[in-house]
């Protein structure tokens, strides 16, 4: 596919994947595909190395790397702060939330502050189990793009992740699937982990077009991405009608869309890639519904807006009820 030739540009740190199927260094090389045999090997492994690039792995204190996850795909709880929090508020939030989530080794924790607070938050989370994402990125390295920020600038500010293609970007700023694709490739090339958002609007769902929309977003937004790329990408399924509306998709509805999306990945890139791809759900996730969502095997975490803005609430989301 088109993206293959780009690999030379990409960071090849200890977390980078090789080309041979899913022999991915982030799983310690012992996790080529998911089937009964490999999943039991995974259970036996005493460590769950964190995915991603060097900076991300260095970010985490060892104590969080020595815990193993009971799930094949390590859960992610990500807070998308949108256009909330000044630098001072963001730093204060981190000081309050750090002790509340310090014992949480079962999932990855990410917060996505506004651009202005990225650097300060990256400093504030140092030595903790919280990683920092930006909410958008431009695909060019530099240039005449007023208001935009490049992947390298985000790395410099201390980001390890970046949210791409959020529906608010798609709708407020007319972002297309093609732009999402360019942003994803640029983020990967710079060593950032993209959290790529997909999801249908209410009209599209009511017209029975959910699968068609997800298919288009996959085919265009993820075009040319390789298995090694997919080993680093996180997908967020966020039905637009559930964002900020209090209308959550039921766990079953969300799982159905996740299953469909994973099937698209399987069809294009094979079982190994599909089985290890983390798909988060987003849209009115709250402490009182996160447990039901996370109980779905298909749901690998949550991308949370409103309920991620208070330390207690984010901590309750991170420490979701687990069987
Ligand atoms: P919400 O936002 O949790 O406030 O619905 C989710 C999102 O937009 O990522």
Cα 282 to middle of ligand 1, angstroms:
6
If you take atom 2 of ligand 1, which residue's CA is the nearest one? 305
Return the ligand 1 atom nearest residue 80 CA: 9
Number of domains in the chain: 1
Ligand 1 and 285: CB distance under 6 A:
yes
Confidence check: pLDDT of 214 > 90: yes
Average of per-residue pLDDT across 72-92: 97
- 24: helix, coil or strand? strand
Check 57, 204, 238, 298 and give the catalytic one: 238
* Contact predicate 120/86, CB 8 Å: no
pTM (2 decimals)?
0.82
CA proximity to 234, closest of 173, 189, 183, 278: 278
| Residue 263 located in a structural domain | yes
Cα 286 to middle of ligand 1, angstroms:
10
| Residue 20 located in a structural domain | no
Cα 46 to middle of ligand 1, angstroms:
34
pLDDT digits (tens, 9 = 90+) for 147-188: 999 999 999 999 999 999 999 999 999 999 999 999 999 999
**What local confidence, expressed as pLDDT, does residue 70 receive?**
54
d(C-alpha 28, C-alpha 45), whole Å: 9
pLDDT digits (tens, 9 = 90+) for 276-303: 999 999 999 999 999 999 999 999 999 9
| Residue 10 located in a structural domain | no
Distance of CA 76 to the CA centre of its chain: 7
Ligand 1 and 198: CB distance under 6 A:
no
Non-local CB neighbours of 155 within 8 Å, separated by 6+ positions: 55, 190, 191, 192
Q: What are the start-end ranges of the E strands in 222-275? A: 234-237
Residue 131 is encoded by which pair of tokens?
A: 């990683």
d(C-alpha 309, C-alpha 80), whole Å: 8
Non-local CB neighbours of 39 within 8 Å, separated by 6+ positions: 72
| Residue 5 located in a structural domain | no
| Residue 13 located in a structural domain | no
Most confident among 37-41, 58-62, 244-248 (mean pLDDT): 244-248
| Residue 151 located in a structural domain | yes
| Residue 2 located in a structural domain | no
Confidence check: pLDDT of 224 > 90: yes
Distance of CA 222 to the CA centre of its chain: 14
Cα 80 to middle of ligand 1, angstroms:
7
What is the span of the domain harbouring residue 211? Answer: 74-318
Residue 254 is encoded by which pair of tokens?
A: 């969300």
* Contact predicate 105/130, CB 8 Å: no
**What local confidence, expressed as pLDDT, does residue 71 receive?**
74
| Residue 37 located in a structural domain | no
Task: Average the pLDDT over each of 17-31, 103-117, 191-205, 279-293 and give the range with the smallest value.
Answer: 17-31
Helices (H), 9-166: 36-44, 54-59, 62-65, 87-101, 118-124, 151-157
Check 166, 200, 204, 258 and give the catalytic one: 166
Q: For residue 78, give the CATH number of its domain.
A: 3.20.20.70
């Amino acid at each position: 596919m088109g993206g293959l030739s780009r690999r030379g540009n990409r960071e090849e740190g200890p977390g980078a994947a090789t080309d041979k199927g899913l022999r991915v260094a982030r799983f310690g090389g012992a996790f080529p595909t998911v089937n009964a045999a490999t999943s039991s090997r995974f259970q036996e492994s005493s460590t769950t190395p964190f995915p991603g690039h060097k900076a991300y792995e260095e970010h985490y204190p060892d104590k969080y790397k020595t815990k193993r996850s009971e799930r094949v795909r390590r859960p992610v709880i990500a807070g998308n702060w949108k256009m909330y929090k000044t630098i001072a508020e963001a730093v204060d939030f981190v000081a309050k939330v750090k002790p509340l989530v310090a014992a949480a080794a079962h999932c990855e924790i990410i917060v996505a502050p506004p651009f202005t607070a990225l650097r300060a938050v990256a400093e504030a989370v140092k030595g903790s189990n919280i990683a920092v994402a930006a909410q958008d990125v431009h695909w060019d390295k530099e240039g005449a793009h007023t208001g935009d920020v490049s992947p390298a600038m985000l790395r410099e500010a201390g980001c390890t992740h970046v949210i791409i293609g959020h529906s608010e970007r798609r709708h407020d700023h007319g972002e297309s699937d093609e732009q999402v694709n360019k942003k994803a490739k640029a983020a990967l090339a710079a060593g950032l982990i993209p959290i790529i958002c997909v999801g249908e609007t209410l009209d599209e769902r009511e017209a029975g077009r959910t699968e068609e929309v997800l298919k288009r977003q996959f085919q265009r937004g993820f075009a040319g991405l390789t298995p090694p790329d997919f080993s680093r990408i996180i997908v967020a399924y966020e039905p637009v009608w559930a964002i900020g509306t209090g209308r959550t998709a039921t766990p079953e509805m969300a799982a159905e869309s996740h299953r469909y999306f994973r099937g698209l990945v399987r069809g294009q890139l094979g079982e190994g890639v599909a089985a290890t791809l983390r798909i988060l759900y987003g849209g009115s996730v709250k402490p009182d519904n996160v447990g039901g969502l996370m109980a779905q095997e298909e749901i690998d975490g949550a991308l949370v807006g409103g309920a991620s803005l208070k330390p207690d609430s984010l901590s309750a989301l991170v420490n979701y009820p687990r069987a």
